[in-house]
Each structure stands twice: as C-alpha cells, then as structure tokens.
Structure 1
Amino acid sequence: MFNEDAIRQELNFKAIRSSGSGGQHVNKVSSKVELTFNVLESLVLNDTQKERILIKLQNRLTTEGVLILQCGESRSQHKNKEIVIKRFLELIKEALKVPKKRKPTKVPKSVIKKRLKSKRKQSEKKSNRQKPNID
C-alpha cells in the first residue's frame, strides 16, 4: 500500500493551546497537536492513491488539498501527537481501500414462488369480499 515511515516524514506538526477546563495549566501549556498533510505534494503516494484520497476525504480536505487533524484529548503533548498520528494512518488506510465489486445474484425460485403465492392469497381474499354475481 504505502510506506508508513516515509509518510510520517511528510507530516507537519504544530502545538497549540488546548481549549476547555484545566485552569492555569491550559493557559500556559500548548498541549493540543495539529497535524497537517499535503496530499497533492506527497512523494510517498502515487497519482492513483492521491486521487482516491482526494475523492474519499474531500469533505475533510482544504481547497489546497491539505488534510488537517487535531488532538487535544490528553494533557501530554507527546500522547496527543501519538493519537493524531494513529488517527491519520487509519484515515489514510481506510481511504485507500478499494471497494469490492458487487456480484449480481439471481433471485431464488423459492422467493419468487412465495411472492406469487402471497399475491394469489391476497387476490382470493379480496374477491371473496365481493357480492356474489347472481345471473
């Protein structure tokens, strides 16, 4: 598929101040990590892989084709970096999966018989509700 170590070299990281509660710690420490990856400028991915990623992740990419992921779950910057890398790799692997082609199957005869039988039964039920024809 692709070389994980090589793709990690193309990632850019930025530490930002995390939001939310935490008091003085949050105000002083930049523990939130932002990962950016430019899909179009990647040397690890080939053109078909880039195209597939652009299509599958189009709602997560910027107009320049940059994927941005953030993680501020932990108070540790290192843990957040590990988490965001793990998320990124899963996201890329999922985007690069080629869906299996659907094999058209034939409708079983038993299903057809069952459907026709239920239609016949319903028809008889309705015809029995009519007034008898006296001629």
Structure 2
Amino acid sequence: MPEPLRVRGSVVVPDAELMWRFSRSSGPGGQHVNTSDTQVELRYDLAGSAALPPVWKERALERLAGRLVDGRFVVVKASEHRSQLRNREMAVVRLAALLGEATAPPPKARRRTKPTRGMVERRLENKRHRSELKQGRSRPQY
C-alpha cells in the first residue's frame, strides 16, 4: 500500500478520505493488458475534507476552482506504468504535489524601490552612446 498522503508539514490526509477507481489502461501490453485494471483514478473530496485546516482548504478551493469536478472533488489519473501499485504511488505523489502547491501561502508582495542615481546615469549614458552609434551609421549630411 502506498504511504499516506502528506500535504505539507504535519498535515496528512487519511486513507479513508481518498477514493480509488481502477480501469484498463490504454497502450501496448500484450495479453496481460486485457485482463488487468492498471489505470488509477484518485478522487479527493476537497470541500468535504476534515484533514486540512480551514484556511488551507479555502485557499485550495480558490486556486483549484478550474480543476474541481462538481465543485468539490480533485481527480488525479495515472497510467504510465504497467503495475497498478506503481500507478497508485504516482497518483498519490501527484495529488500531494497539487495540494501542497494549492495550500502554499501567497508570496510576499514586492516592495517597490527607486533606482539608484548611478544606475539612472548609466542607463542614460548607454542611451546616448547607442544614439550616437546609430546616427554614425547614416549618410553624412553635406
């Protein structure tokens, strides 16, 4: 069984809140492919979860709004591997990364700063130099 879904820090989503569905995976695989359900679909009820703190849940619902199914479920599919167990592990890793990114605090606002006097002078000097260089390429005026 895959390890528990760790979102960030000490917050862990219990296995009881995860819903698994298995189906036949597309692609090559020989005789084995017609009998095994290796594609994994992992559903997580984000809106009804008790594992996430309310602030994180609100932030995740807002950031993942376009990805939610029925306005509450996050769905992750994995079918790269031939083994159902490996696909389950991949789905858990993807969901953990998705939730970790969605619940992360917003970045600090950038403080606007004034350019230094030397920087302004260098920029203006560079502009003057470019202007002289380009004017020197034109035909001389007699």
Any idea what SS the aligned residue of 1:50 has?
helix
Counterpart code for 1:57: L
Percent identity over paired residues = 35
How many pairs are equivalent?
131
CA gap of 1:123–1:66, structure 2 versus 1, over 3 A, is same
2-side partners of 1:54 and 1:22: how far apart?
Answer: 38
* Gap regions ≥5 residues in structure 2: 1-7
Residue among 17, 23, 36 paired with 1:16: 23
2-side partners of 1:64 and 1:91: how far apart?
Answer: 16
Larger Rg: 1
Aligned position for 2:103: 96
CA gap of 1:74–1:120, structure 2 versus 1, over 3 A, is closer
Counterpart code for 2:20: F
CA gap of 1:110–1:31, structure 2 versus 1, over 3 A, is same
1-side partners of 2:123 and 2:105: how far apart?
Answer: 36
2-side partners of 1:75 and 1:50: how far apart?
Answer: 34
Counterpart code for 2:111: K
1-side partners of 2:29 and 2:87: how far apart?
Answer: 16
Q: 2:43·2:74 contact (CA, 8 Å) conserved in 1?
A: yes
CA gap of 1:7–1:104, structure 2 versus 1, over 3 A, is farther
1-side partners of 2:74 and 2:121: how far apart?
Answer: 53
Aligned position for 2:53: 46
Q: Which moved more, 1:34-43 or 1:99-108?
A: 99-108
Aligned position for 1:28: 35
Counterpart code for 2:32: H
Aligned position for 2:63: 56
Alignment RMSD, CA only? 2.6
* Gap regions ≥5 residues in structure 1: none
Q: 2:39·2:79 contact (CA, 8 Å) conserved in 1?
A: yes
TM-score (norm 2): 0.76
Aligned position for 1:114: 122
2-side partners of 1:83 and 1:107: how far apart?
Answer: 47
